[in-house]
Amino acid sequence: MRTLKLLIGVLIVCTAININGQSSKRSSLPLEYGAERLGKRTDKAMQKWRDNGFGQFIHFGLYAIPGGFWEGEFHSFAAEWMRAEKGVDTDKYDLLYKKFNPKQLDARAWAKQAKNMGAKYVVITTKHHDGFCLWPSKYTEHNISNSPYKKDIIKQVVEAYEAEGLDVILYFSILDWHHPSYRSKLETEDDKKEFEIFKEFTSNQLKELLTLYPSVKGFWFDGTWDSSWKDQAEFAYKLSEELRAMVPGLIIGSRYRADDNRMRGYDSNGDLMGDYGQGWERNLPSKIEDVTGNDWECVMTIPHNQWGYHSDWRGHVKDSYEILDMLARSASLDGNFVLNFGPKADGTIRIEETKIAEEIGAWMKVNGEAIHNSGHLNWEKQDWGYYTINRRTNKKYMIVFNMPISGKLRVKASKELNISKAFEIGNSDKLLKLERIYDHGEYWIHYDNVEKLKSPIVIELETSINKNLRKIENTKT
Ligand code: JFZ
């Protein structure tokens, strides 16, 4: 009897420890295919991705030919979705490959433009939902080598961008409207049989891409929302392991796969799957808590919602300052920002995008150090803009988008630091007036050129350890 009591007692204690142990970590349903890890990856490849900060997206494919108009009719929805639009004959659409001939494509010009814009990586569509491949895939006829253009576009892009020192990430849509074995739902035995064929095709294509372009840094997966794919937790997980083994350091975002319970993005325990949050599409977090301690990336269009080329951008089209604001906000919240370009069917980049790339580039040339390698500084946010801190140099920046008409900028630093100097980036000779509100870590910076201001400025702050802090803390009690 006594031993039984003892046993029960021990059991209760153990259970309590177990419960406590778990609750201090997270809710933890046992998952075979949940998050790969908790928290950020710490390896060099991921560090590089994080430090890159700013990328370019390219959506290029057959959809550039209709460019938002099907047989003369305007379609307002995303141009790259044309094949799925009402009234579009899919057989006719698929025959567009016979006209795909971007003769003026100059991948080196694209790469130079991206570099001058300040981008450090590119994400390029190898295959979008329409299934047309920009590389000569062995596994489908529906690829670039059967077009009049013939030449491998992915190879050109990889070579050109890498020659300019940019990293390349391959966009790949799992969803494939062209492949006969693709199914969105697996309702019958036949569906399941066909989808097995499709899974093998997908695996083959992904391995083919890494074999042909082993220098790429990752995959940007899309088209993973159908229930047929959500059923494939084990397959998808194992496939990603095979791909990671082929290219050490390979980066895969959270949009790739589902867990044991068909949850995507975050697994059933609420933990991020993949290496970074991929859910910030045309949308940005507003505070650091929103990103739950993970790496993340925002992908953004210049017009409202057009990724592929649309010849008639209607509605609000963002200007370069709006885009820079989003880029700065992303850096300030520890995320990457990727700006989309949709080249024309001839392979050139439209004038509106070129203008934006040049304007952003001009600003980045002066101020890029506040973006690249830079991340969150945990000082209380002020209405004038964003703080960033350079992870390499520890330099602190104020990216000022909303300069008050008074030119007076409030700064609430952490009490551990003194701000000793404030100056506009690249102008360290001309110190800005710095008013210190004694002992509160609070400052006012006076910017006296407000009427001449033409674009957002970056103010660099020099700080030193506040030696008086102990004294201050002691006098408080
Ligand atoms: C997808 C594609 O359908 C689209 O054509 C484009 O390639 C874009 C980058 O990705 O669209 C999505 C995917 C996910 C969300 C929204 C649009 N989402 O998670 O909100």
Cα of 222 vs centre of ligand 1, distance in Å, is 7
What does the alpha-carbon distance between residue 320 and residue 141 come to, in Å, rounded to a whole number?
Answer: 40
Per-residue pLDDT tens for 98-122?
Answer: 999 999 999 999 999 999 999 999 9
**C-beta of 226 in contact with ligand 1 (< 6 A):** no
How high does pLDDT run on average in the chain? 93
Picking from 63-67, 248-252, 406-410, 450-454, which range would have the lowest pLDDT averaged per residue? 450-454
Question: Has residue 417 got a pLDDT over 90?
Answer: no
Per-residue pLDDT tens for 152-187?
Answer: 999 999 999 999 999 999 999 999 999 999 999 999
Picking from 210-224, 263-277, 373-387, 436-450, which range would have the lowest pLDDT averaged per residue? 436-450
Of ligand 1's atoms, which has the minimum distance to the CA of residue 279? 19
Cα of 436 vs centre of ligand 1, distance in Å, is 47
Contacts of 463 (CB under 8 A, 6+ apart): 396, 413, 417, 418, 419, 420
- Residue 394: pLDDT band by 50, 70, 90 thresholds? very high
pLDDT on residue 21: 35
**C-beta of 231 in contact with ligand 1 (< 6 A):** no
Q: Which residue of 123, 222, 296 sits with most ligand 1 atoms within 8 Å of its CB, as the best mutation to test the pocket?
A: 222
Question: Has residue 242 got a pLDDT over 50?
Answer: yes
- Residue 438: pLDDT band by 50, 70, 90 thresholds? confident
**C-beta of 79 in contact with ligand 1 (< 6 A):** no
Nearest CA to ligand 1 atom 15: 281
What does the alpha-carbon distance between residue 252 and residue 237 come to, in Å, rounded to a whole number?
Answer: 11
pLDDT on residue 471: 59
**C-beta of 299 in contact with ligand 1 (< 6 A):** yes
For the chain, how long is the longest CA-to-CA vector? 88
Mean pLDDT of 219-235: 98
- On whether the CB atoms of residues 56 and 339 are closer than 8 A, the answer is yes
* Beta strands 433-437; 442-446: pairing state: antiparallel
Nearest CA to ligand 1 atom 1: 222
What pTM, to 2 d.p., does this model score? Answer: 0.93
What does the alpha-carbon distance between residue 416 and residue 388 come to, in Å, rounded to a whole number?
Answer: 17
Per-residue pLDDT tens for 331-368?
Answer: 999 999 999 999 999 999 999 999 999 999 999 999 99
pLDDT on residue 11: 44
